[in-house]
Structure 1
Amino acid sequence: MKSLLKRMLRWLCGEYSIYVILTKACAEAQVPGSIPAGGTIVPVDREMVAASADPDIRAQSFYAGEGALGYGCRGPDGQLAALCFYWHGERYRKRNFWPLKEREAKLVEVITASSMRGKKIAPALIEASLHDVGQQGFERAYARVWHSNEPSLRAFQTAGWQRVATVIELHPFGRKKALRITRPARGT
């Protein structure tokens, strides 16, 4: 029965996406006193990411480049244990999922190496990187997280980010242009 209902919903709604939109003012970010697992936060570029020994980290190198601010957490062995990238300006306008104003950026990727997950590195990286993004002249950052990605949602919550909306996109009956529903979070 559940399978039939799923197939019917897929036919009716088509492809779909459900994202939670989160935000935090850069001025609210604090540099963590210490980074879990003995890590250090460093700016990263495409070459550093591409040279990583971890294939999941290495695969993120395309996020770097013009219009991107990249940050990594080096583990005690010196290897990149986690990454995050913010896009802004023209680079982000090509994606433009969530509208940004001047001096706003979007955190478009955060990943922790599988061997380092569960050590609270991601929230520390998100917080420290947001502080630096503020030092670069930005005032606010946004992120979108798949609605059921509990580890990412916890990382942003731990880093003090607030939910501002849920965005649902549907392609009913094979429609090419998405039908978009934006639902503000309670209290916003």
Structure 2
Amino acid sequence: MSRIGKVLALLGVRYEVYRIMVNREPSGSAPLSLAGLRVDQLERIVPPAIDELQQLNEYAGEDSIGFGAWIDGQLVAVCWYWYGERYRRERGFIPLPDLTAKLVQVTVDPSHRGKGIAPILIAQSSRSMSHARFKALYARIWHSNTSSRTAFAKAGWSDAGSVITVKVPLLQRPFRFSVPRPHKGSKCAN
């Protein structure tokens, strides 16, 4: 934790800094592949998946679409998109217009991490979401989670900026503000 973070924590101030990734053209997601890897839609995670993946069944249900990645018949990664009322009711971190969804969870079996599975799952599921008529997809990633940000970038998603939330003691509502990413070529981007 940074010095500023430690001082804020001592004062009881909590903060969150997330990067927002977006895919505004899901049908054009990066054409990534890995020999023996298959990505398909799933409704529920069934044994013999590892416990870490099985626990993700809580993401299934109304207004959700899940995808799994399999190698030799073994489930090795899962991601879930939420949209509509489910997202508004349970998360609502960013406003989602109609025909948009948020990728709320991506998990790769620890024994398969570092093999490039996450970007393939993200890219192929993005294309499937496009076929389901979704026009834009979003994800929220903790600002220092560089491996997740890299996976989304490899899958063809772009960094839309940051959302910062500050929770101050004695105030009922947190402060939340967005910091858009500067466009290429602008003075701020250089």
Q: 2:63 aligned with 1:72, yes or no? A: no
Q: Superposition pairs for residues 1-12 of structure 1, below 5 Å?
A: 6-12=5-11
Aligned residue in 1 for 2:187: none
Task: Provide the rounded CA distance (Å) in 2 between the counterparts of 1:117 and 1:166.
Answer: 26
The Cα of 1:156 is off from its aligned counterpart by 0.3
Out of 165, 173, 181, the position equivalent to 1:177 is 173
TM-score w.r.t. length of structure 1: 0.89
Aligned residue in 2 for 1:167: 163
Quick check: 1:13–1:170 contact (8 Å CA) kept in 2? no
Task: Provide the rounded CA distance (Å) in 2 between the counterparts of 1:120 and 1:107.
Answer: 18
Unaligned runs of 5+ in 1: none
Out of 81, 88, 99, the position equivalent to 1:86 is 81
Quick check: 1:21–1:145 contact (8 Å CA) kept in 2? yes
SS at match of 1:53: coil
Quick check: 1:11–1:172 contact (8 Å CA) kept in 2? no
The structure in which a higher percent of residues are helix is 1
Backbone CA RMSD of aligned residues: 2.0
Quick check: 1:11–1:173 contact (8 Å CA) kept in 2? no
Identity %: 36
The Cα of 1:125 is off from its aligned counterpart by 0.5
The Cα of 1:26 is off from its aligned counterpart by 1.5
Aligned residue in 2 for 1:139: 135
TM-score w.r.t. length of structure 2: 0.88
Q: 2:26 aligned with 1:26, yes or no? A: yes
Out of 30, 33, 38, the position equivalent to 2:36 is 38
The Cα of 1:5 is off from its aligned counterpart by 5.5
SS at match of 2:169: helix
Deviations 1:141-186 (A, max 9, x none): 0000000111101100111111112011011235332111210011
Aligned residues between the structures: 182
Range with greater deviation from structure 2 (167-176 or 56-65)? 167-176
The Cα of 1:3 is off from its aligned counterpart by 8.4
Aligned residue in 2 for 1:98: 94
Aligned residue in 1 for 2:183: 187
